[in-house]
Structure 1
Amino acid sequence: MRRILLKWQQLILSLGCLILIVSCQNSYSATNSSVLTVATDPTFIPFEIKNAEGNLEGFDIDLMNAIAKAVKLTVKFESLPFDGMISTLQAKKVDAAISGITITPERRQTVDFSRPYFKAGLAITVRADNQDIQDIKTLQGRKIAVQIGSTGADFAKTIPNAEIRTFNSGPDFFQDLLNGNVDAAISDAFATIYAINNGKLKGLKVVTNLLTEEYYGIATPKNSPHLDVINQGIAKILANGTYKQIYRQWFNTEPPNLPESAPHS
């Protein structure tokens, strides 16, 4: 009887060890996968957009692919609305998100961010013939268009008596501005100026200097095993000149120096 019990104990112990080994192997493969699933919203020119063939292109797309190449990963992009990215990251349905996401203290409460990869800021956009709106003070009591979930939407809330209208994407609220349904829009300065200069937003103009100084980061779920690797990739392309090459290609100017962490975030 004791021999039978001993054999059963040995069998149970062996099975336990086997389960532990398989579990560890599965965990290792999950955190060391060579494929990185990255969410992006392809409506944010020139950071991400679908071209005529339906393929993704843009500064963020080139940057993410360069980061992945530097650390020997493959990127699989998934298109998502901007306002759904944080919740998708929280649910761990994607490994990361890149879409001009500003690093803020509020967002840091629910997701983690890479080191900054882009220095940005908000600007006011109006119709080209508008002479009334020149600064924040002249936005008071006006109809202002913003994108849902953006820092532009947060900023607009601070303007007294403003009527804020929210949209899912930049093309939607810029069209409303052109149609005269709103007086102004608050959005990313670089994306707006790029679109105006390239003829995508004819009839609009940016009327003031940057309202804010912001930094974009690549967002990941909290405690993501991929974050360190992403940061390593950013550091590599900053050091080897790849970042500068991509920045020049999309903005036709030299990139600013980037801090290792976003100030005030």
Structure 2
Amino acid sequence: MTVRKTALCLVALALLGMGTASAAGPAKQPRSELDRVLARGEVKVCSTGDYRPFTYRDPATGQWSGIDIDMAGDLAQRLGVRLKLVPTTWKTLVDDLGRTCDLSMGGISITLDRAKRAFYTEPYVRDGKTPITRCENAERFQTLEQIDQPGVRAIVNPGGTNEQFADANLKQATIVRHPDNNTIFTEIIEGRADLMITDAVETRWQAKEHPELCSVHPDQPFTFAEKAYLLPRGDVVFQEWVDQWLNLARHDGTYDRFAAAWIG
């Protein structure tokens, strides 16, 4: 076969391939979680249920409450679907996305580690780590240097950013790991721990609920952090819709109304 004939054959094959592709039509885009939620008529939201004022699940009744529980209800209403709340833990939060739930809500801090495995919405709260302790000890625990001393007992809930912060910054103090975030502040009140370093918004809520406890400089926390909702990695369509909903809720008074009921 001559060079000219070979070239003509190659052109013909290319044209044939183009025609076949055209006849088959454009490749179908994978369905978004948004499409599946709408088809199902139900949105499944994972939450830990142990982080007031954002999320709380009463262990006796199973009843849910909190700012982000109210927000989840608003999200479902604006989607026009039912809301199903699914219990999760801080350790399994990312793994449960797309497996048992469509998104996760409940005071979730933005971290680079989580961002490797999932998408975040735009942030809706700016926060940071600060101490909470019995009020008579508030002056003792103003700085990390004061806290990181032999004999000081800093309590943490395993699996989240509080534990990560304590492990990274406390080398001499004793870190007490308490598995139940719903009862962890009772440990401080009853003297079995000296303090906890957690998100400033949580310290404000707990100090409001327990007059024995004082939030230490919540307006000047040790760290900078933001909170957002967690979505399956790669699903830009679903992320875009949730971002637009959140933007509207933050500017039409919806979020402020829910938050005011908890933190004023």
TM-score (norm 2): 0.76
Alignment of 1:90-129 (within 5 A): 92-129=99-136
Partner of 2:79: 71
Moved more, 241-250 or 96-105: 241-250
Partner of 1:235: 247
Cα distance in 2 for partners of 1:138, 1:119 equals 25
Cα distance in 2 for partners of 1:31, 1:54 equals 24
Cα distance in 2 for partners of 1:183, 1:108 equals 33
Partner of 1:59: 67
Structure 1 gaps, min length 5: 1-16, 253-265
Partner of 2:36: 30
Cα distance in 2 for partners of 1:179, 1:172 equals 11
Q: Is the 8 A contact 2:45 2:84 kept in 1?
A: yes
- Alpha-carbon offset, residue 25 of structure 1: 9.1
Q: Which has the larger radius of gyration?
A: 2
Per-residue CA distance 1:39-98 (angstroms, 9 max, x = gap): 112221221123585421110111122223233343210122232212222x63211111
Cα distance in 1 for partners of 2:164, 2:70 equals 28
Residue type at the aligned position of 1:203: E
Alignment counterpart, residue 159 of structure 1, candidates 145, 163, 170:
170
Cα distance in 1 for partners of 2:255, 2:33 equals 33
Matched, 1:135 2:143: yes
C-alpha RMSD over aligned residues: 2.9
What's the % identity of the aligned pairs?
21
Partner of 2:47: 40
- Alpha-carbon offset, residue 26 of structure 1: 11
Q: Is the 8 A contact 2:130 2:198 kept in 1?
A: yes
Q: Is the 8 A contact 2:32 2:238 kept in 1?
A: no
Residue type at the aligned position of 1:109: K
Residue type at the aligned position of 1:151: T
Cα distance in 1 for partners of 2:182, 2:117 equals 28
Residue type at the aligned position of 1:207: V
Moved more, 31-40 or 102-111: 31-40
Partner of 2:11: none
Cα distance in 2 for partners of 1:183, 1:125 equals 9
Matched, 1:81 2:93: no
- Alpha-carbon offset, residue 163 of structure 1: 2.2
Are the structure 2 counterparts of residues 218 and 118 from structure 1 closer, same or farther at C-alpha, using a change threshold of 3 Å? same
Structure 2 gaps, min length 5: 1-23
TM-score (norm 1): 0.76
- Alpha-carbon offset, residue 32 of structure 1: 4.1
Matched, 1:249 2:254: no
Partner of 2:17: none
Are the structure 2 counterparts of residues 93 and 138 from structure 1 closer, same or farther at C-alpha, using a change threshold of 3 Å? same
